Amino acid sequence: MRYRHFPERQGLYDPQFEHDSCGVGFVCNIKGKRSHEIVEKGILALEHLMHRGATGSDPKTGDGAGVLIQVPHKFLSKECSKIGLRLPPAGEYGAGLVFLPTDNKEREFCEYQFRKITEEEGLVFLGWRDVPVDDSMIGKTARDTEPVIKHVFAGKPASIKDELSFERRLYVARKRIENLVRDSSLKQKKYFYITGLSSRTLSYKGLLMSAQLKDYFLDLRDRDLESAFTLIHARYSTNTFPTWDLSQPFRFLAHNGEINTLRGNINWMKARQGLLKSGAFGDDIKKLFPVIVPGGSDSAMLDNALELLVLNGRSLPHAMMMLIPEAWQDNNQIDEDRKYFYEYHACLMEPWDGPAAVAFTDGRYIGATLDRNGLRPARYVITNDDTVVMASEAGVLEIPAEDILIKGRLQPGKMFLIDTAEGRIIDDRELKGKVSSANPYKKWVKENIERLGDLPE
């Protein structure tokens, strides 16, 4: 496995056992109203999670910090028009923040391949935008490995009618580009990383401290940069080496904790690749391999698995219930449908187990879940102006007591979900009841599972 920026295996050290523990959360307008204020509140909450992040011997280089927001069409359209790049209407193009090599020739190679492959996949390549940054405040370690950062844009062709099909096409193109660069002989390929390519979400992240993010990315100061939510993450890479690409949030999630079953999860995903079939991806499924990208952290690999499940057609809550199931065996406090849902999916996917608090979004839904033991904290506040603040501890934003409707904490194995399209919070019982009753899981389990105890001696 190739590990970006990690030392080689030596003595008792092996990079495959890297893991981390971090600060995570989000600020969201329940009704889906986009504003710059939500972005500002998210960044402020991230700054208040600075103690959750970490620094090394270089006190100005953080382990990583970032935000994930909805694609800010108003802002991007304005900025791209300044460079003669006209963007299609919102939802008709995919945008991504890309880390590129500092060497001019290698960067040109990556940009050429990006255009070539997106066009081969039937997408309309629109162009690049230089992302303005100020690196005067970051540390030497961060600056020594700092990539060139650009936005890339790809338009939706007329042949693709729905949003999910467009997201799949962007995913296939991105995976092809990643695989090509990773397998190339470029000396600076460790600098190349696509933080995301989506018509729904856009990230700003890097090898930064929480308090450096808004000063480093000048875009985040613009009042036209609007979103209905801001998913935040401050990284504390417990035993690992912080890198630009392993800062979070990833494409769908931000994670605080550890995946203790990681080696088994990786091996099972790799073993199943030869059997994977998809009506959604068809023959393109092979272009997605390896599904779990070598060199990622446990959080990155969990994100890889979630991305495949969601883009293949499962809802975001469904996929999270598969990956991080609650304690369902011998649990008399959950209904029968839910038990059969978990039993059915246990045949398809092993749980990604460990002490974990995960915040996640697909651009419409945003939520959080805890592992079955609930060993990582997750506190939330709901205000009377339809704002939700969820974080790995209480008090990340100062909210007057009279403005608070509900305060609470996420329980072990429970899920907290906001549907910004419907403009409401969906209760854990309602959410899981809907997902677990969507198919006849009880019938499938009873008709297809043979139990050793039922066989004759």
- What one-character-per-residue DSSP string does 210-279 give? GGGHHHHBGGGG-TT--BSEEEEEE---TTS---STT-S--SSEEEEE--TTHHHHHHHHHHHGGG---T
Count CB neighbours of 451 within 10 A.
6
The Cα–Cα gap between 164 and 96 comes to: 17
Q: Which of 22, 28, 80, 110 is catalytic?
A: 22
Task: Indicate the Cα dihedral angle 359, 361, 367, 371, nearest 10°.
Answer: -40
Return left, alpha or beta for 217; rule: phi > 0 is left, psi -120 to 50 is alpha, else beta: beta
User: Bridge partners of 333?
Assistant: none
Helix ranges restricted to H, 128-217: 140-144, 163-182, 213-216
Active site residue 22: yes
SS3 content of the chain, % helix, strand, coil (to 5): 35, 20, 45
Q: CA angle, 65 as apex, 61 and 71 as ends, to 5°? A: 140
Length of the chain, in residues: 457
Please report where in the chains the tokens 């899920």 appear, as a residue: 415
Q: Which two tokens stand for residue 326?
A: 């609650």
Sign (positive/negative) of CA torsion 361, 15, 50, 66?
A: negative
Cβ-based neighbours of 401, under 8 Å, separated by 6 or more: none
The Cα–Cα gap between 303 and 246 comes to: 12
Catalytic residue numbers read 22
